[in-house]
């Protein structure tokens, strides 16, 4: 297993276009997370999947954002009608779900997909 | 403290110097504190997960301490090397939630 893979690594698009990012987690990890990092900020939580179920979606995600994880394997994050404010690094992470609280789960991150909206 | 705060924002040290950074987090509802190292163009890499007050963890030349009562953690690097150059992120998980709250990071540059 080569870790968490994200594709594409870089995407430049014009405002109003749709973009899709893909994340392939570590195969035995049942939990998958999307975070976003904008310039000068730390990563911010976007959404979380346990297997194929999307259990939570941050208020940061407008209706233009949608994430899926069909069959509990890879995940996609789609942004429709991109805006310049969507420019950021989109990070995917996965973890094994431990019994009890989730807060001690070690996240394995991908290298991120950097989006630039012109 | 409502958010996770890290200081300093950035620093430059000479090779061989020892250094330390601070992560401050809300002490109420504390569950776990994470440290990650993020080298440019690579994936953030987990360093430590700490859950107990007074916890101290070590990985090679890097160590971390945790004070949950006052809401801070220190990360120490002994004898810094150029390969230690990276952004060091801490993240808190209040109430055991999976919604980790990250600080803005400390960007370390070790000069040869």
pLDDT per residue as tens digits for the range A43-69: 999 999 999 999 888 888 889 999 999
> Would you call B1 an interface residue with chain A, using a CB distance cutoff of 8 Å?
no
Which residues in chain B (61-100) have CB-CB distances under 8 A to chain A?
A: 89, 91, 93-100
Other C-beta atoms lying within 10 Å of the C-beta of residue A62:
12
C-beta atoms of A101 and B89 within 8 A: no
CA of B29: which chain A residue's CA is closest?
A: A103
Is residue B2 very low, low, confident or very high in pLDDT (cuts 50, 70, 90)?
A: low
Is residue A12 very low, low, confident or very high in pLDDT (cuts 50, 70, 90)?
A: very high
β-strand A10-13 against A113-117: which pairing, if any?
parallel
Calpha distance A59→A57 (Å, rounded): 7
C-beta atoms of A43 and B89 within 8 A: yes
SS3 string, A52-70, reads CEEEEECCCCCCCEEEECH
CA of A104: which chain B residue's CA is closest?
A: B32
Answer yes or no: is pLDDT of B36 > 60.
Answer: yes
C-beta atoms of A112 and B98 within 8 A: no
From chain B, the residues in CB contact with A110 under 8 A are: 43
What is the model's pLDDT at position A97? 74
Answer yes or no: is pLDDT of A85 > 80.
Answer: yes
Between the two ends of chain B, the Cα-to-Cα distance in Å is 37
- DSSP secondary structure code for residue B12 in this structure: E
From chain A, the residues in CB contact with B34 under 8 A are: 106-107
Name the average pLDDT for chain B: 94
What is the model's pLDDT at position A100? 52
Provide the 3-class DSSP secondary structure of residue B64.
strand
Provide the 3-class DSSP secondary structure of residue A75.
strand
C-beta atoms of B49 and A104 within 8 A: yes
The pLDDT of A87-96, averaged and rounded, is: 96
From chain B, the residues in CB contact with A4 under 8 A are: 43
Calpha distance A108→B3 (Å, rounded): 23
C-beta atoms of B96 and A100 within 8 A: yes
Is residue B110 very low, low, confident or very high in pLDDT (cuts 50, 70, 90)?
A: very high
Calpha distance B82→B14 (Å, rounded): 9
């Amino acid at each position: 297993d080569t870790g968490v893979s994200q594709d594409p690594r870089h995407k430049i698009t014009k405002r109003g276009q749709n973009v899709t990012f893909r994340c392939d987690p570590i195969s035995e990890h049942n939990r998958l997370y999307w975070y976003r990092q904008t310039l000068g900020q730390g990563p911010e939580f976007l959404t979380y999947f346990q297997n194929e179920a999307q259990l939570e979606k941050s208020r940061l995600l407008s209706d233009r954002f949608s994430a899926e994880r069909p069959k509990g394997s890879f995940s996609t994050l789609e942004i429709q009608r991109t805006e310049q404010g969507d420019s950021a690094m989109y990070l995917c992470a996965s973890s094994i779900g431990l019994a009890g609280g989730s807060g001690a789960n070690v996240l394995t991150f991908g290298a991120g997909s950097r989006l630039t909206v012109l | 403290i409502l958010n996770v705060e890290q200081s300093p924002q950035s620093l430059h040290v000479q090779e061989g110097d020892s250094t330390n950074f601070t992560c401050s987090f809300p002490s109420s509802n504390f569950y776990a504190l994470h440290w990650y190292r993020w080298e440019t163009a690579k994936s953030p890499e987990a360093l430590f997960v700490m859950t107990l007050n007074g916890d101290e963890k070590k990985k090679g030349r890097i160590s971390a301490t945790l004070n949950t009562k006052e809401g801070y953690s220190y990360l120490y690097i002994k004898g810094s090397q150029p390969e230690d150059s990276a952004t060091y992120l801490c993240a808190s998980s209040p109430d055991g939630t999976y919604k980790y709250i990250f600080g803005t990071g400390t960007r370390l540059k070790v000069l040869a």
